[in-house]
Amino acid sequence: MNFNKFIDSPLFYRIIALAFAVLLFAYTNEDKLSSTRNNTDSTMLANASTTMRVALQLEVNSNKYFVTGYPEKVKVKVSGSKAMVTTISNTRNFKIYADLTDLKPGTHEVTLKQSGLSSDLDYTISPAKVKITISNRKTKSFPVQFNYDKQRVGNNYKVGTPTADPDVVSATGASSEISKIAEIVAAVEIPKGTKSTFSRSVLLQALDDKGKILNVVISPQTVDVKIPVYSETTTKKVPVQLVTTGDGDSDKSYTLSSSTETVTLSGTKSDLSGISSYKISVPIDGISSTTTKSVNLASPSNGVTIVQPKSAKVKITVGDSSSSSNESTVSSQSSSSSSSNSGTSSSSAKSSQSESESGSQTSSQSSSSSEDE
């Protein structure tokens, strides 16, 4: 009686409704999970394809032979399940190669092979065959040569002798190609208007006698090139001036003469423009009689150097000075004018001795100064 009442009660119907709702929910989600699982499995099992570019490898005795004519890379189309295709595309743990182990020097057509692809995958190699040339291998050393435009430097600047590090490289290739090499060249592009030493790492090229690039391997492929760039120099001849230095005998007079009339200087135009003569300093310390000295010529200033001569012979003529004279008379003259001016110098000295003590030395110095001019 009580059970019948429970069945007829609203609570019973609520429980029954809840149970049906739970069963319906479970059934619906099971269909969705099954559908998702089936879709995933179907996706992973579906066929896919991809095309990759891979390096072509050679199986050959590389110590004995040199191979040319083959492409650096080939195309490989791989087809199969999407999972396997995705894996092989990401890892690329396979290789495409040409087996040349049994071939001799000459030209051959070789079928390309693969190693590492699963047997469950289909593949196509493009090209399927390659034509290659096998040659006897040869290696030879060459000095590095340079190719550059000297006109690229700034105005009034010149290019010095370039250097390379290393300055000798090796070229390896077919013996027939190595024999054609005329030079290994570093082609240097100097920036326009360069005014200072230029350095750069440069790729090398092997050229034949017609300037054609040859198919060889250069080691190292690049060198460090250094090209000095400096101000353009010129030369200029200037007359010499002979002057005494040091302390001579106060009772003696000193006259300087030399067969060296001019010196040649080297430097930039701007540096040389301010130089009109070259002073040769002659020490007279301890000299009491006529003698000849060899004087080394030093560069007059920074950037200007002596070209010639490097030294000059100077004759120091020593004479008696007046007893009242406290200074030495010095006459600077060249060999070409010394003969013509010797009479004048002697006359001037005699004249100075005959004058009064206060004016004799001044007159003598004026005479010497006139001769220098």
Listing DSSP states for 107-175 in one string gives EEEEE-EEES--TTSEEEEESSEEEEEEEEEEEEEEEEEEE--GGGBPTTEEE---EEESSEEEEEEEH
Give the confidence band of 32 by pLDDT, cuts at 50, 70, 90. Answer: low
**Interval 180-193 mean pLDDT:** 95
CA–CA dist 245, 32 (Å, integer): 115
Residues β-bridged to residue 258: 314, 334
Beta-sheet pairing, 122-126 with 73-81: antiparallel
Give the confidence band of 329 by pLDDT, cuts at 50, 70, 90. Answer: very low
Q: Is 7 helix (H, G, I), strand (E, B) or coil?
A: helix
Give the confidence band of 298 by pLDDT, cuts at 50, 70, 90. Answer: confident
**Spatial contact of 255 and 319, defined as CB atoms under 8 Å apart:** yes
Q: What is the pLDDT of residues 45-65, one digit of tens each?
A: 578 999 999 999 999 998 999
Please tell me the least confidently modeled range out of 25-34, 100-109, 121-130, 243-252: 25-34
pLDDT for the residue numbered 233: 78
**Interval 264-282 mean pLDDT:** 86
Please tell me the least confidently modeled range out of 8-12, 179-183, 192-196, 364-368: 364-368
**Interval 188-212 mean pLDDT:** 94
Please tell me the total number of residues recorded for the chain in this structure: 373
CA–CA dist 3, 348 (Å, integer): 166
Residue 33 or 78, more confident: 78
Give the confidence band of 324 by pLDDT, cuts at 50, 70, 90. Answer: very low
pLDDT for the residue numbered 182: 97
What is the overall mean pLDDT for the chain?
Answer: 81
CA–CA dist 76, 126 (Å, integer): 6
CA–CA dist 370, 31 (Å, integer): 127
Identify which of 182, 183, 200 has the alpha carbon closest to the alpha carbon of residue 191: 200
CB-based burial label for 294 (10 Å; 0-12, 13-18, 19+): exposed
Residues β-bridged to residue 147: 187
Residue 166, preceding bond cis, omega within 30 degrees?
yes
Residue 61 or 324, more confident: 61
Tokens read off for 107: 């030209």
Please tell me the least confidently modeled range out of 154-163, 222-231, 248-257, 337-346: 337-346
292 pLDDT more than 80: yes
Residue 81 CB neighbour total at 10 angstroms: 17
Residue 333 or 224, more confident: 224
Give the confidence band of 71 by pLDDT, cuts at 50, 70, 90. Answer: very high
**Interval 283-305 mean pLDDT:** 86
**Spatial contact of 191 and 224, defined as CB atoms under 8 Å apart:** no
311 pLDDT more than 80: yes
> Quick one: what percent of the chain has pLDDT higher than 70?
78
pLDDT for the residue numbered 7: 63
